[in-house]
Structure 1
Amino acid sequence: MTATDGHRASAQLPTLSAPFFLRGRLYEGNDVTHRSRDLGVAFTTPAIDLDRAVHPRGEVPPLLDVPLAEIIDFLVETGVRIRDPRNPFVRDCIDRMTGTHTLPRAVLEAQVVGAAGYLDKRLLRTVVEQNFPDPRALDAWVPKADFTGRKSFVRAFAPRLIHVLPGNSPGVAVKSIAQGALVKAVNLFKMSSSDPFTTVAILRTMADIDPEHPVVASMSAVYWRGGDEAVERVLYRPQYFDRIVAWGGGDAISNVVKYLGPGFQLVSFDPKTSISMVGREAFACDKTRERAAELAASDVMVLNQEACVASRFLYVEGDRGDVDDFCARLHAHIADKAAASGDTRPLDMELREQIETLHLLDDDFRVWGRTDGTGVVIRSDEPVDFHPLNKVANVVRVDSLDDAVRGVNVATQTVGFYPFERITDYRDRLASRGAQRVVRLGEAGPSTIGNPHDAMYPLHRFVHWMAHEDGVR
């Protein structure tokens, strides 16, 4: 069976084509024409061979009996190959992605190559050890016994996963492939229209190392338009897959939810908004003022504010004069980082109009910068009613950081906090409001290896936990 969504390609083919990778084999073709979400650029793909995309339940997953240590070694070698500037698959991927993605080439290349740092032996071992109290369960049936003398065996059995990948960060493909391999899953990656290239480039790199390796046989990557029932009605079924691992916004999640039921569950990395909380200690002297602004700018500009951990709303404790001084310094640092990155995309028309309207209002708002992609800081007494992005920061003046806590909810991912010593006074309240992570201001980007992500240990959620009860002996 095959499925073709979008429009049939005309005789005049677009310049961009996106191949598929299905269980170890590359598929090329121009059967279907799609358009990228952000730029509206046309690209072509083969028709999806749905039979090939599904690994039959009657077949044991290819990675099941491969030792975890061997899988990690293969991932490490993949990381080395991704970082190799001569890698033809990565070079070709970047060439093509610059036509569909909003980020400039240098930023895309840095994200893809930089993400290969995740494929480090110590890092991967730590991730497994933090996710599983007894990692032996990934390799074997682990014997257990309770206080009554009843014995059993437990295994973290290889799951069947569909990954709905995001379009904002190509590096997520590297992490998702690694995580799927670590849990020995059968994996189907649904690529985004902004980036229908990176996942296949990584899988082609793996196949170039060893085309017969079980990791390669466990991986497939295709594209279809989200919500296309001709594809999703077939694939989103418990007889084929156990979990859908979804990154993305409301539309991406709503496309999935209607298919959920017994045996087919959702592990969701929902869109999140991150914030900063800056106490009045920042205004103790000129040095602390400058330092706090510099740290805050680092959090705003994580992946040029494309990442969920990037700060968008900054609650600053102080009078208006001090807060305005902070805003001016913050804007200068954002502008410097934007210039250094080479990413000076103009803001889209709707956001530009919303910001420019603020200039016409009273002193409740003040704006630093221009809407030309070089950075904007907005000072207000309440959060603005639009979503800051593309190097736009909303500084909200508060009399007390207690007032800032009221702006935290279940959609708040990371809170960057200054001064550091006050974090312990607030972390329980932040968790109670729904926040998932609190860090020192300036450290939103890096994360402690193996820590929970979006309030869960993902790999632990991915696997199919199986028990073999062996009675009392």
Structure 2
Amino acid sequence: MTTTTRASGTTVIHVIRGEAAEGGPYIDHGRGDTAFSAPALDLNRLVWPRTEPGPAFGVPSAEIVDLLVETGEALKTDRQGLLAEALEAMVRVSPLPAEVLERAYAVLWRSFQRPSLRAQIDHELGGPDVLDGWREVRLPEGRLASVRAFPPRLVHVIAGNAPGVAAMSVVRGALTKGVNLLKLPSNDLFTATAILRTMAKVAPGHPVVRSFSAVYWRGGDATVESVLFRPQFFDKLVAWGGEATIRGALQYVGPGFELVSFDPKTSISVIGREAFATEEALTEAADAAAADATFFNQQACVASRFQFVEGSDEDADRYAALLRERLGVAREFSSADGPRVPAELREEIDVLRSMEPDYRVWGGYDGRGLVIRSPEPVDFHPDGKIVNVIPVAALSDAVTHAGVATQTVGVYPDARKAELRDALACAGVQRVVSLGRAGGMPPGLSHDGFYPLQRLMRWVNDE
């Protein structure tokens, strides 16, 4: 991707039905160091008429998988330099440090591997036959019917907290065979378009390539969204993001236009008393918990923010001190240095420092990790490599602090998962994982409590 400087920012390139859209009138967005310019939108070009099928509606799923695999190989080698140029531009707008972005871009190709693509089709849809045609099913009383997962028309409002969200959205959109309009987030203006332009280099003019557009508009802009977010153009709005994004999307939901929401979530960890059996076990638990807490420098929903330790205050203090050390270690998707703690939060934490022994704090405000031990969860949102440790008499006590907004719960040791998972599921939790394995979601499993491909499709019966 070619980037050019306009004023103090960067020019964003759009993709319209598989073709890069450069030039033309630009609209400036942002301020100061984060300023950028994006091409003005032609809304008519962002919809596919319902009077004709989408470009990829009739493409065999095996051919789509082959194309995605080839795209992954092209992303891995990046011979065209599109990812490299996108990465250079991303550093200007992303809250993540350059070293984390570099490592995240280096593994984007993993989302396009054949086994993971097949797993999504097989586990979420029951196989490719229902994508490629009509699956016959036998009903009660011997009646026969047929069902098809029909290609949808999707508009995606994607999140920019991790580059993998863009890759995931492209893969899912392609596997549905539908048409896809991606709204670029202001903190990731380049990943989705770099992937789509790479796909276009692999197979110019391919129906799947022509099934994608990716553009930027300011979130909540009614002059755009009131026109596009309509059932005559799209079946579903696939929205990622915070509460404001989801509430903004809800105003457009109505008959024929459904919301598929990846809601804002937080994640927690629970550490059993087995961690205190030996120093080796304690180190193992603290290291695994730190990996979960620092995933994408705690920008991702899967990142642990609250950690419940089965034991006394003294046990929790031993654990918290070791956890603080491990938070400052650079990992594949985290840096040793995170964002500095903002002034207003520093003031609140300083008050907690003065409240020993009920509260204890380890670490400073330099972004290398900070741990707060408290009798109950703190009433602010730990962020930027801040973790709140809460001692509990039994791990079952931690369940009362989980809810529908809790996405992932990491458990140590593994043997304790079985006793907790039903209660956690009842509370509203969507994932229970081994401590240290919160980052990344295996393809083919549910995401936020549902199977995405199954939810994205339009299911049609022939009875």
TM over 0.5, shorter chain = yes
Deviation at 1:355, TM superposition (A): 2.1
Deviation at 1:102, TM superposition (A): 1.4
Structure 2 distance, partners of 1:60, 1:178, is 20
Q: Which of 50, 57, 73 pairs up with 2:50?
A: 57
Structure 1 distance, partners of 2:39, 2:295, is 35
Q: How does 1:36-51 map to 2 (within 5 A)?
A: 41-51=34-44
Q: Which of 15, 20, 40 pairs up with 1:21?
A: 15
Q: Secondary structure at the match of 1:389?
A: coil
Query: Between Structure 1 and Structure 2, how many residues are aligned?
Result: 457
The corresponding residue for 2:324 is 331
The corresponding residue for 1:129 is 122
Does the 8 Å CA contact 2:121/2:127 hold for their aligned counterparts? no
Does the 8 Å CA contact 1:278/1:314 hold for their aligned counterparts? yes
Does the 8 Å CA contact 2:97/2:335 hold for their aligned counterparts? no
Does the 8 Å CA contact 2:272/2:310 hold for their aligned counterparts? yes
Does the 8 Å CA contact 1:64/1:139 hold for their aligned counterparts? no
Q: How does 1:213-252 map to 2 (within 5 A)?
A: 213-252=206-245
Does the 8 Å CA contact 2:297/2:338 hold for their aligned counterparts? no
Q: Which of 356, 361, 385 pairs up with 1:362?
A: 356
The corresponding residue for 2:428 is 434
Deviation at 1:14, TM superposition (A): 3.5
Q: Secondary structure at the match of 2:408?
A: strand
Structure 1 distance, partners of 2:418, 2:336, is 38
Q: Which of 291, 297, 311 pairs up with 1:298?
A: 291
TM-score, with structure 1 as normaliser: 0.93
Structure 2 distance, partners of 1:288, 1:337, is 21
The corresponding residue for 1:3 is none
The corresponding residue for 1:307 is 300
Q: Residue deviations 1:322-356, cap 9 Å, x none?
A: 11110111111111237983543312333333223
The corresponding residue for 1:391 is 385
Deviation at 1:358, TM superposition (A): 1.8
Structure 2 counterpart of 1:451, one-letter code: L
Q: Residue deviations 1:366-421, cap 9 Å, x none?
A: 11111111111111111011111111111011122122111010001111111221
TM-score, with structure 2 as normaliser: 0.95
1:72 aligns with 2:65: yes
1:33 aligns with 2:33: no
Q: How does 1:26-425 map to 2 (within 5 A)?
A: 26-29=20-23, 31-35=26-30, 41-337=34-330, 341-425=335-419
Q: Secondary structure at the match of 2:329?
A: helix
Structure 2 distance, partners of 1:453, 1:225, is 27
Structure 1 distance, partners of 2:175, 2:277, is 48
Deviation at 1:446, TM superposition (A): 4.2
Consecutive unaligned residues in structure 1, runs of 5 or more: 1-10
Deviation at 1:206, TM superposition (A): 0.9
Structure 2 counterpart of 1:100, one-letter code: V
Q: Secondary structure at the match of 1:231?
A: helix
Deviation at 1:33, TM superposition (A): 0.8
Structure 2 counterpart of 1:35, one-letter code: G
Deviation at 1:468, TM superposition (A): 2.1
Does the 8 Å CA contact 2:336/2:368 hold for their aligned counterparts? no
Q: Secondary structure at the match of 2:402?
A: coil
Deviation at 1:300, TM superposition (A): 0.9
The corresponding residue for 1:8 is none
Structure 1 counterpart of 2:400, one-letter code: R
Structure 2 distance, partners of 1:48, 1:205, is 22
User: Residue 338 and residue 105 in structure 1: after superposition, are their counterparts in 2 closer, same or farther (change >3 A)?
Assistant: same
Comparing 446-455 and 209-218, the one that deviates more = 446-455
Structure 2 counterpart of 1:353, one-letter code: E
Structure 2 distance, partners of 1:343, 1:127, is 36
Q: Secondary structure at the match of 1:97?
A: helix
Structure 2 counterpart of 1:423, one-letter code: K
The corresponding residue for 1:4 is none
Q: Residue deviations 1:173-207, cap 9 Å, x none?
A: 01110000001110000010011111111111111
Structure 1 distance, partners of 2:296, 2:158, is 17
User: Residue 454 and residue 53 in structure 1: after superposition, are their counterparts in 2 closer, same or farther (change >3 A)?
Assistant: same
Structure 2 distance, partners of 1:12, 1:459, is 39
Deviation at 1:429, TM superposition (A): 0.6
Structure 1 distance, partners of 2:183, 2:260, is 15
Structure 1 distance, partners of 2:351, 2:454, is 48
Comparing 361-370 and 176-185, the one that deviates more = 361-370
Runs of 4+ deviating beyond 4 Å: none
1:459 aligns with 2:460: no
Q: Secondary structure at the match of 1:99?
A: helix
Deviation at 1:108, TM superposition (A): 1.1
Structure 2 counterpart of 1:32, one-letter code: I
Deviation at 1:280, TM superposition (A): 1.2
Q: Alignment identity in percent?
A: 48
Structure 1 counterpart of 2:28, one-letter code: T
Deviation at 1:40, TM superposition (A): 6.3
Consecutive unaligned residues in structure 2, runs of 5 or more: none
Deviation at 1:12, TM superposition (A): 6.5
